[in-house]
Amino acid sequence: MLENLTDKLGSALRNLRGVGKLTEENMADALKEVRQALLSADVHFKVAREFVSNVKEQCIGQEVLKSVSPGQQVIKIIHDELVKLLGEGTTELEDKKPLRIMMVGLHGSGKTTSSGKLAQFLAKKRDYRPALVACDVYRPAAIDQLEMLSKTVGCTFYGDRDEKDVVKIGKRGLDAAKDADANLIIFDTAGRLQIDVDLIEEIKQLKNAIQPDEILLVADSALGQEAVNVAKHFHEAVNITGIILTKLDGDARGGAALSMKTVTDVPIKFMGTGEKVEEFEIFHPDRIASRILGMGDVVSLVEKAQETIDEKEAERLAEKMRKADFNLEDFLKQMQQVKKMGSLGSIMGMMPGMSGVEIGDEEEKKMARTEAIILSMTLQERRTPRLLRGSRLKRIADGSGVQVRDVNALLKQFNQMQKMMKMMNGGKGRKMMKAMKAQMGEGGGMPGLPGM
Ligand SMILES: Nc1nc2c(ncn2[C@@H]2O[C@H](COP(=O)(O)OP(=O)(O)O)[C@@H](O)[C@H]2O)c(=O)[nH]1
Ligand SMILES: [Mg+2]
């Protein structure tokens, strides 16, 4: 989905990702490439221009976070701007029963298919009892198509192959739905190859007759910018309430998705991602933005850092590590900071290059146990682990509900960790990484190891 844009943006940002210091130069280059990527994805030029200028402005005003690189921060800013373009947050349909929905759009945009998809989606997720009404009076095949879909979905269908008056069909459809006790009525309408006066007139008449709660424009994302123009016209004519963007599984360039909200001010509510009835989803701007950037990991990492990490504390601990004067109290703090960021597994998953490392419940439990053990120590013991012998070990084990050997295992691990820190100081970084990896491989690794 939108691979083209992903590729182009990806190459613009890949260089930034590792940048330790942002300069006007490397920013300008990257932003130029971003703008190019947007334009070649058929994003409206004004939208692209404003996008870049917003990103630039925010980069300047950005508070520097120490735990992530400036390049990563820029990626996060770009992500957030993408989300804004796509529409921020999901937009639900009116929460009403019964609910009447009229589908409009050009020929071949996916109206009939999306009518079926929407019926199934709302039946499953929102507990509706749907009815599909065929208002395409020009193509008998479209009526058959909708009837087939109603069978797939298992819902009520109304159509009349001999009637050419859409208003009559619409009204009879409402009656039929009522008789069948349906509380969701979706009206599939005819399209044209382009918007014309007759089409608009017909839609207006049908709208008056059935009084829909929602008018959804079905737009083919492969049309790029043209899809946005179409949406604008339909909106001016009949006030659409939302957009269903279809064929995002294909070679859509992104222009439609990215310019639609800004240009029309109508939210994209759903998206079609294939020909099958179930290939239909709520449109989540943040998920799409992450997919487009292909750097969801970096984005989440910066987010978490912004939310939770106490910068000064992290700095202090890192300094202590450098000096290899890291005690159990520091270890506890470190672990608590990591915990604030969420589950260990989810954090590891976000680290670039670490997504393959699996950390299950087992590790989480181990971490909680480690925390309990340290909490059962006195402050003095935490600061001077060598005091920990004999009866103290027993007391701590009892206090934290573990066996003495668990306490010993923790101390052994902690010793190894200190050794590694010393090695690191001695400039034997590589050796340390090896040792660390070996340890992690055993499954007995030290969670919350700073600097991982
Ligand atoms: N790949 C893909 N094809 C779609 C999607 N939505 C609709 N189509 C296909 O687009 C074609 C036109 O769809 P249809 O619903 O008949 O469009 P209508 O003329 O607007 O009613 C059909 O071949 C559908 O299977 C989608 O999200 N992805
Ligand atoms: Mg159709």
| Measured distance CA(164)–CA(66) in Å, rounded | 68
| pLDDT of 343 higher than 60 | no
Which of the four pLDDT bands, split at 50, 70 and 90, describes residue 443?
A: very low
Q: Is any ligand 1 atom within 6 A of the Cβ of residue 109? A: yes
Residue whose Cα lies nearest atom 19 of ligand 1: it is 108
How do residues 383-392 score in pLDDT, each as one tens digit? 888 888 889 9
Q: Which atom of ligand 1 is nearest to the CA of 136?
A: 21
Stretch 347-368: mean pLDDT: 59
* 355 token code pair: 């997504």
How do residues 313-330 score in pLDDT, each as one tens digit? 767 777 777 777 778 888
Q: Is any ligand 1 atom within 6 A of the Cβ of residue 105? A: yes
| pLDDT of 351 higher than 50 | no
Q: Which bin fits 130, alpha (ψ -120 to 50), beta or left (φ > 0)?
A: beta
The pLDDT of residue 194 is 78
The pLDDT of residue 245 is 95
| Measured distance CA(223)–CA(105) in Å, rounded | 13
151 Cβ contact partners less than 8 Å away, ≥ 6 residues apart: 157
Q: Which atom of ligand 1 is nearest to the CA of 271?
A: 27
Range among 82-86, 308-312, 365-369 with highest mean pLDDT value: 82-86
* 83 token code pair: 């989300």
Q: How buried is residue 277: exposed, middle or buried, by Cβ count under 10 Å (0-12/13-18/19+)?
A: middle
Q: In this structure, are residues 316 and 419 in contact, taking their beta carbons and an 8 Å threshold? A: no
- Mean pLDDT for the chain? 83
How do residues 170-221 score in pLDDT, each as one tens digit? 999 999 999 999 999 999 999 888 788 889 999 999 999 999 999 999 999 9
Q: How buried is residue 88: exposed, middle or buried, by Cβ count under 10 Å (0-12/13-18/19+)?
A: middle
Q: What are the residues facing 282 on neighbouring strands?
A: 270
Q: In this structure, are residues 258 and 289 in contact, taking their beta carbons and an 8 Å threshold? A: no
| pLDDT of 276 higher than 70 | yes
Domain definitions of the chain by residue range:
3-89+293-297, 99-283, 310-441
Superfamily of domain 3-89+293-297, CATH level 4: SRP54, nucleotide-binding domain (1.20.120.140)
Give, as one character, the DSSP assignment of residue 213: S
Q: In this structure, are residues 189 and 203 in contact, taking their beta carbons and an 8 Å threshold? A: yes
| Measured distance CA(141)–CA(139) in Å, rounded | 5
Residue whose Cα lies nearest atom 23 of ligand 1: it is 275
Give residue 278 CA to ligand 1 midpoint distance, Å.
13
Between residues 25 and 157, which one has the greater pLDDT? 157
| pLDDT of 277 higher than 90 | yes
CATH 3.40.50.300 fits 99-283, yes or no: yes
Stretch 234-242: mean pLDDT: 95
Give residue 276 CA to ligand 1 midpoint distance, Å.
9
| Biggest CA pair distance of the chain | 94
The pLDDT of residue 435 is 53
How do residues 49-70 score in pLDDT, each as one tens digit? 999 999 988 887 776 676 677 7
* 51 token code pair: 């996008």
| Measured distance CA(67)–CA(450) in Å, rounded | 11
Which of the four pLDDT bands, split at 50, 70 and 90, describes residue 345?
A: low
Which of the four pLDDT bands, split at 50, 70 and 90, describes residue 452?
A: very low
Between residues 408 and 6, which one has the greater pLDDT? 408
Stretch 400-412: mean pLDDT: 91
| Measured distance CA(366)–CA(26) in Å, rounded | 44
Level-2 CATH architecture, domain 310-441:
Orthogonal Bundle (1.10)
- State the DSSP string of 249-296: TS---SHHHHHHHHHH---EEEEE-SSSTT-EEE--HHHHHHHHHT-H
| pLDDT of 151 higher than 70 | yes
Which of the four pLDDT bands, split at 50, 70 and 90, describes residue 250?
A: confident
Stretch 16-44: mean pLDDT: 83
The pLDDT of residue 348 is 53
